[in-house]
């Protein structure tokens, strides 16, 4: 590249003429690159001096070859070119630019004055033609116009590129949108739909374009759709979140997670308008809308609604829905002056099935019960599950009270039939209480409460039956409420105490252990039998705090006879299954032992076989923790439940106890009592300790002793006694 710097003075007469051009031109000339080509040095110098102080980057060439070399290696915005070059003609230079699509504008500066030369230059691609000799302002104006036109063209190209990219971006966004996007014309025909519309609804674009919107809208929603798809407003008042159901085509995406021929959409629409002939008028062109598929949301809402008002296990109405339907039935009965009945059904022996076969089988039983109950009812009746094994029924429009009795008997008969649970044949029954509106209550809660009272009356009288509510039952219910209240206050008032019944070695007659028995000294009723209040406490969740108190009291008592009892003395404690199920039961027990300096080996925990059957794995873990601590385990009432020899191997059992119900059957010392003999043989074969409970006669004692049971407990030897007398017994023996 040849670059010249010429110091040639400019004619002062031109200064004033060019001042205005300079001011407007210089600001726009920054960063422009100009190529000056002329084989006359003076002409090239004059042109260079004219342009050099106006912010251009100037490059000069004295011949066409050098100019082509510059064009091949650099970029120029503008070239001022003389046509009459010695080596290469200026037309050839422009041809070179055209052939290679070089982005450079050309201003021809030539001494040729004929019109053909100018026309030829312009046809060859020149932007303008300036004849020599030229005035400075003419050149500057021509350069300025060329550069401004170039800048404008560049801006137009940039804008066009931006518009094209913007259109691509927005089309991509529209087609990639998870929502339906569409436009309708003024006749409500589709003029545009995005890809999501086709994917979601299963139509091709050709099937929708030009079609009326009613092609895809469910008929029941057409009236609402008419308002939305013909929306003419264009402000914030336009339609928002209107739900419509839309029919799917045959090409619907099979990968959708739900299977339906109808999709629910939430639609937003606004009108499109074009300016009218008058300034204040706008011509309606159609509707623009965006819709979102809310089918899964609607299904989720329906599922949530269903779950909120139905029992998840049996799919029956739950308490909330049952009360709602009962309320409506009561309003209808009052309006028609009719009676209705509310039945409260509680399954008998369900807990036994649940404990022995597990919760999975218990759930299966509840589902089968629900199915059978439905078979006993009319379509107008309402069956609900309140929870657990409790069901309720509304029998509206009773003709006579006998209708309710007949239904109850039908329920009892159906439930009396055996149930098959994974190969197990199970028999249950039900206790049914019935309350009648309006005689037994004017409110929902009152009817349910009185039906519940009647149901418990059936249970108290042996279960497996039905009974109408009677006001006299209130007294019995109040007694139970009073018992519960008294039982809750018994701990605060220190009304509980522990009695001890010694266990005797019949070979020596020595007391070698004892069983701890809980007693309740009621302030007005006296001593309440354990059989009366312990099941009640377990049912009402009071056994846990009572057991906490009992363990603390036992440890305090044991610290009093420490050193008095014989070696190997063990105290048997019957712990509630609810207590053994607690995660922290071992920590509570261990803390009490440490607090009162009681050795774990002095404690033997009695469990029933049902504890093992309810959740064998959990029972194994809990009992192994006891064994690891040094506490031995005994199975109480052995043989009365679902006995399994496998449990004696799997559980860390040290002792089994013959239940008093088997001992009571012994009436002849020389008789044959196979169950007792079998239990003795099991204990002997497994090398387990054996204790007979409830021994009350000498005949029983002699029979047991003769057949190998040497440790006994019962009234024949000692009755349960308070701590003071028990300690005195130990001292006497010592």
Which CATH number fits the domain that encloses residue 223?
3.30.450.20
pLDDT confidence tier of residue 302, bands split at 50, 70 and 90: confident
Q: Determine, yes or no, domain membership for 627.
A: yes
- Residues 320, 264: one domain? no
Q: What is the mean pLDDT of residues 243-255?
A: 69
**Picking from 19-23, 93-97, 400-404, 474-478, which range would have the lowest pLDDT averaged per residue?**
19-23
Nearest 5°: the CA angle 556, 559, 565 is 130
How confident is the model at residue 645, as a pLDDT?
A: 66
- Residues 278, 238: one domain? yes
pLDDT confidence tier of residue 255, bands split at 50, 70 and 90: very low
Give the tens place of pLDDT for each residue, 645-692.
666 777 888 999 999 989 999 999 889 999 999 999 999 988 999 999
Distance CA 52, CA 7 (A): 11
How confident is the model at residue 451, as a pLDDT?
A: 93
Distance CA 252, CA 249 (A): 6
Antiparallel, parallel or unpaired: β 242-247 and 262-275: antiparallel
- Looking at 301, 329, 350, the residue that finishes a domain is 301
Antiparallel, parallel or unpaired: β 632-638 and 711-713: unpaired
HSE-CB at 250 with a 13 A cutoff on CA atoms is: 1
Give the tens place of pLDDT for each residue, 168-205.
787 777 777 778 888 888 888 888 888 888 887 888 88
- Whether 15 has a pLDDT exceeding 60, the answer reads no
- Whether 479 has a pLDDT exceeding 70, the answer reads no
Dihedral class, residue 286 (left if φ above 0, else alpha if ψ from -120 to 50, else beta): left
What does the mean pLDDT of the chain come to? Answer: 83
- Residues 278, 398: one domain? no
Distance CA 343, CA 585 (A): 40
- CATH number of the domain enclosing 718: 3.20.20.450
How confident is the model at residue 477, as a pLDDT?
A: 59
Q: Determine, yes or no, domain membership for 217.
A: yes
- Residues 603, 667: one domain? yes
- Whether 13 has a pLDDT exceeding 70, the answer reads no
Structure tokens at 21: 């051009």
- Residues 499, 606: one domain? yes
**Picking from 73-77, 256-260, 449-453, which range would have the lowest pLDDT averaged per residue?**
256-260
- CATH number of the domain enclosing 107: 3.40.50.2300
Q: Tokens 């809308």 appear where?
A: 289
Q: Determine, yes or no, domain membership for 477.
A: no
Number of domains in the chain: 4
- Residues 181, 264: one domain? yes
Q: Determine, yes or no, domain membership for 641.
A: yes
Q: Determine, yes or no, domain membership for 132.
A: yes
pTM of the model: 0.46
- Looking at 123, 156, 189, the residue that finishes a domain is 156
Give the tens place of pLDDT for each residue, 587-609.
888 898 898 888 999 999 988 76
- The alpha carbon dihedral of 74, 80, 85, 88 has a sign of positive
Distance CA 518, CA 545 (A): 13
- Residues 23, 150: one domain? yes
- Residues 261, 146: one domain? no
Q: Determine, yes or no, domain membership for 476.
A: no
- Looking at 280, 301, 322, the residue that finishes a domain is 301
- CATH number of the domain enclosing 454: 3.30.70.270
Distance CA 54, CA 143 (A): 11
What is the distance, to the nearest Å, from the Cα of residue 675 to the centroid of all Cα atoms in its chain?
A: 54
What is the distance, to the nearest Å, from the Cα of residue 276 to the centroid of all Cα atoms in its chain?
A: 54
How confident is the model at residue 9, as a pLDDT?
A: 36
Distance CA 273, CA 92 (A): 55
What is the distance, to the nearest Å, from the Cα of residue 720 to the centroid of all Cα atoms in its chain?
A: 55
- Whether 247 has a pLDDT exceeding 50, the answer reads yes
| Residue bearing the bigger pLDDT, 639 or 723 | 723
What is the distance, to the nearest Å, from the Cα of residue 93 to the centroid of all Cα atoms in its chain?
A: 77
How confident is the model at residue 24, as a pLDDT?
A: 40
- Residues 426, 563: one domain? no
pLDDT confidence tier of residue 489, bands split at 50, 70 and 90: confident
Residues 6+ apart with CB under 8 A from 292: 178, 179, 180, 265, 266
- Whether 643 has a pLDDT exceeding 60, the answer reads no
Sheet bearing 105-110, strands edge to edge = 57-61, 33-37, 78-81, 105-110, 128-131
Give the tens place of pLDDT for each residue, 509-533.
999 999 999 998 888 778 887 877 8
How confident is the model at residue 641, as a pLDDT?
A: 57
Residue 282's domain spans which residues?
Answer: 177-301
- Residues 521, 420: one domain? no
- Residues 412, 533: one domain? no
How confident is the model at residue 12, as a pLDDT?
A: 42
pLDDT confidence tier of residue 506, bands split at 50, 70 and 90: very high
Q: Determine, yes or no, domain membership for 306.
A: no
Q: Determine, yes or no, domain membership for 7.
A: no
- Residues 192, 143: one domain? no
């Amino acid at each position: 590249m040849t670059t010249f710097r010429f110091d040639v003075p400019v004619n002062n007469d031109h200064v004033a003429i060019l001042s205005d051009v300079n001011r407007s031109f210089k600001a726009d000339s920054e960063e422009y690159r100009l190529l000056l080509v002329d084989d006359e040095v003076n002409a090239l110098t004059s042109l260079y001096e004219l342009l050099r102080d106006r912010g251009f980057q100037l490059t000069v060439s004295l011949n066409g070859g050098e100019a082509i070399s510059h064009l091949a290696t650099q970029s120029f915005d503008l070239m001022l070119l003389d046509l009459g070059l010695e080596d290469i003609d200026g037309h050839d230079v422009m041809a070179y630019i055209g052939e290679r699509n070089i982005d450079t504008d050309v201003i021809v500066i030539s001494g040729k004055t004929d019109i053909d030369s100018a026309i030829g230059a312009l046809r060859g691609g020149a932007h303008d033609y300036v004849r020599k000799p030229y005035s400075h302002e003419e050149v500057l104006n021509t350069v300025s116009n060329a550069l401004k036109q170039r800048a404008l063209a560049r801006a137009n190209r940039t804008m066009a590129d931006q518009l094209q990219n913007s259109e691509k971006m927005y089309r991509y966004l529209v087609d990639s949108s998870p929502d339906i996007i569409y436009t309708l014309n003024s006749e409500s025909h589709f003029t545009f739909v995005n890809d999501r519309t086709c994917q979601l609804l299963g139509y091709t674009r050709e099937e929708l374009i030009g079609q009326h919107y009613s092609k895809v809208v469910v008929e029941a929603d057409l009236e609402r759709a008419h308002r939305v798809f013909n929306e003419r407003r264009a402000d914030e008042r336009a339609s928002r979140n209107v739900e419509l159901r839309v029919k799917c085509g045959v090409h619907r995406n099979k990968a959708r997670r739900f299977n339906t021929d109808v999709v629910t959409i939430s639609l937003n629409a606004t009108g499109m308008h074009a300016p009218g002939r008058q300034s204040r008028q706008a011509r309606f062109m159609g509707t623009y809308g965006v819709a979102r598929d809310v089918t899964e949301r609607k299904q989720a809402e329906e599922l949530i609604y269903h779950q909120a008002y139905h029992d998840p296990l049996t799919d029956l109405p739950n308490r909330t829905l049952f009360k709602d339907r009962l309320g409506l039935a009561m309003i209808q009965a009052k309006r028609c002056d009719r009676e209705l009945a509310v039945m409260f059904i509680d399954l008998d022996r369900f807990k036994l099935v649940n404990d022995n076969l597990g919760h999975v089988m218990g759930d299966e039983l509840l589902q089968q019960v629900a199915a059978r109950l439905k078979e006993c009812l009319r379509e107008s009746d309402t069956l609900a599950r309140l929870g657990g094994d409790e069901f309720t029924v509304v029998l509206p429009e009773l003709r006579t009270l006998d209708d309710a009795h007949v239904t109850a008997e039908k329920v009892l008969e159906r439930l009396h039939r055996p149930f098959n649970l994974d190969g197990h044949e199970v028999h249950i029954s039900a206790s049914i209480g019935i309350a009648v509106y309006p005689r037994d209550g004017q409110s929902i809660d009152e009817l349910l409460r009185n039906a519940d009272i009647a149901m418990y009356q059936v249970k108290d009288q042996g279960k497996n039956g039905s009974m109408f509510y009677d006001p006299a039952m209130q007294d019995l219910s109040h007694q139970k409420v009073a018992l519960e209240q008294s039982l809750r206050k018994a701990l605060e008032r220190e009304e509980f105490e522990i009695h001890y019944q010694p266990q005797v070695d019949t070979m020596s007659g020595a007391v070698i252990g004892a069983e701890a028995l809980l007693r309740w000294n009621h302030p007005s009723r006296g001593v309440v039998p354990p059989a009366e209040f312990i099941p009640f406490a377990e049912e009402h969740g009071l056994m846990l705090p009572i057991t906490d108190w009992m363990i603390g009291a036992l440890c305090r008592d044991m610290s009093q006879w420490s050193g008095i009892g014989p070696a190997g003395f063990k105290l048997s404690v019957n712990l509630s299954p609810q207590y053994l199920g607690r995660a922290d039961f071992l920590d509570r027990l261990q803390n009490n032992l440490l607090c009162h300096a009681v050795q774990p080996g002095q404690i033997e925990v009695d469990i029933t076989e049902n504890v093992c059957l309810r959740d064998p794995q959990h029972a194994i873990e809990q009992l192994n923790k006891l064994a690891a601590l040094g506490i031995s385990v005994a199975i109480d009432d052995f043989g009365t439940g679902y006995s399994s020899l496998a449990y004696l191997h799997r559980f860390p059992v040290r002792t089994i106890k013959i239940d008093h119900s088997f001992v009571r059957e012994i009436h002849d010392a020389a008789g044959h009592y196979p169950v007792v003999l079998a239990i003795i043989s099991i204990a002997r074969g497994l090398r387990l300790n054996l204790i007979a409970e409830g021994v009350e006669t000498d005949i029983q004692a002699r029979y047991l002793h003769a057949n190998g049971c040497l440790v006994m407990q019962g009234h024949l030897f000692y009755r349960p006694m308070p701590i003071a007398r028990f300690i005195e017994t130990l001292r006497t023996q010592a």
